[in-house]
Amino acid sequence: MTLVICVTLLKGGVGKTTTAMALAEAAALGTGTMLVDADPMGSAYRWSRLAAGSGQPLRSTVVPMPAADLPRRLPSIARGAGIVIIDAPPPGPGAARIAAGAIGTADVVVMPTPPEFAALDRVPPTAKEAAEHGVRALAVLTMVRAGLADHGAAVSALTGWGVPVARTELPLTVTVQRAYGEPVSGVLARFGIDLMTELIEES
């Protein structure tokens, strides 16, 4: 049985593609894994092409598919994959239907969010959309800076809104900021492994 994880938030610039890539590469350590790039920007697919061009291809298979009928297409394209990660789009022209389709086909929705109000404010609406599809949702803090009060405030806000928060967090580091187009390693690889372990334990 294939586990489908949708990575999305109704806001851009929150570390969504980075989180999706980390999860996909972690999952690929143990099973056939497909990363579906449902974002019309195509950042995940571009990342995979850059990595392949450098001579260090990714372990997961990345497929561009920014389509509103993703639920219909997914069973055929993901045949044989043990885990499917969907990198869903942020708001934009035509993106709402694509994101809704991605959420509706998932077993769990992962909502990356930096600990700042502009991003946190979009978590409850995203969780609500997941709930309307009968899909559980989990907030994951990204771009976390050590020792700052905004981290504790973010966790308090999310739990106060009734949103489950992952134990795993993605710190803000230079290596993570420079990871685009590179093989997933170091801090980002550990983040992906820890978060994937947490998701599987709770599935």
Q: Which of 65-69, 108-112, 147-151, 186-190 has the lowest mean pLDDT?
A: 147-151
Q: Which of 26-35, 84-93, 135-144 has the lowest mean pLDDT?
A: 84-93
Provide mean pLDDT across the span 17-38: 97
SS3 30: coil
User: How is the beta sheet containing 83-87 ordered, strand by strand?
Assistant: 61-64, 33-37, 83-87, 3-7, 108-113, 136-141
Angle at the Cα of 7 (from 158 to 70), degrees rounded to 5?
A: 135
Tell me which range, 34-38, 87-91, 115-119, is most confidently predicted by mean pLDDT: 34-38
Question: What is the gyration radius of the CA atoms in the chain, in angstroms?
Answer: 15
What domains lie within the chain, and their CATH numbers?
3-193 (3.40.50.300)
Q: What is the pLDDT of residue 151?
A: 85
Does residue 175 surpass a pLDDT of 80? yes
Q: Which of 10-14, 63-67, 89-93, 111-115 has the lowest mean pLDDT?
A: 89-93
Does residue 81 surpass a pLDDT of 70? yes
Enter the DSSP assignment of 185: -
Provide mean pLDDT across the span 61-74: 93
Average pLDDT in the chain: 93
Kindly report, residue by residue over 39-55, the tens digit of the pLDDT.
999 999 999 999 999 99
User: With bands split at pLDDT 50, 70 and 90, how would you rate the model's confidence at 147?
Assistant: low
Angle at the Cα of 110 (from 71 to 128), degrees rounded to 5?
A: 75
Rounded distance, CA 73 to CA 98, Å?
Answer: 12
Dihedral sign, Cα of residue 122, residue 173, residue 30, residue 72:
positive
